[in-house]
Every structure is written in C-alpha cells, then in structure tokens.
Amino acid sequence: AQSVTQLGSHVSVSEGALVLLRCNYSSSVPPYLFWYVQYPNQGLQLLLKYTTGATLVKGINGFEAEFKKSETSFHLTKPSAHMSDAAEYFCAVTRTLTGANNLFFGTGTRLTVIP
C-alpha cells in the first residue's frame, strides 16, 4: 500500500530563509511522488513530480525536491522564502486506477513566512 507522511503540520520561516518541508513515503512498488500547493481559497496546484530518472526534480516558483530511495524521502526545498510562498503544501504518492490514478495525500504542511 502507498502512503506519505509529512513531518510538521506547521512550518515558519523568515523571508529569505531556506524552506524545507519534509515528506516520507511508503510504497511497495517504485513510487511516483508529487508536491502540490494550495493557496487560501484556491485549488491544489502541482509544484513538481518525480517519476523516474533524475532524482533532483525542479518545479515552479523556485522549488525543488530530491528523491532519496534509501531514506524513503521526498523533501521539498526552496533556497530563499518569499512572502508569496505562504500556503499549504501537500506531498502525495499515486497508485493506479482503471485508466486513472489515485493520489494519496499527506496531511499537509502549512508554511508561514515571517517578514
């Protein structure tokens, strides 16, 4: 069965500081991993995803994540936080459905950026 665990339901960083959001996964098969962001009163937007190949994945808005099989982790980072990064971030792993895929989401991490 596939699942993800996000460590820390709330993370606060100062503007300009490193952002690190943690995600560990459990999967019986090679995982496909996603990070989504949800701004207030908006839907989820894909930040980045890992399928196969390069383990360092670059996404939108300066975010990147590294797939580490040995640590079963897919942590999200950004070198310098911006006020506009304040949002809820969800890590997800997928399983196949008939012609579709099901995203198993973590419980989310709310990022606060302090001016």
Q: Does 112 bind another protein (CB under 8 A)?
A: no
Asked if 99 is part of the footprint of another protein (rule: CB under 8 A), the reply reads: yes
DSSP 84-108: GG-EEEEEEEEEEETTEEEEEE---
The answer to whether the CB of 89 falls within 8 A of the CB of 111 is yes
* Residue from the set 7, 9, 58, 69 that interacts with another protein by CB under 8 A: 9
How far is it, in rounded angstroms, from Cα 34 to Cα 29?
Answer: 15
Q: Is 42 in the site for another protein (CB under 8 A)?
A: yes
Determine which residue in the list 28, 83, 100, 115 makes contact with another protein, applying CB under 8 A.
100
Let me know how long the chain is: 115
- 32, 35, 67, 89: which one binds another protein (CB under 8 A): 32
96 binds another protein (CB under 8 A): yes
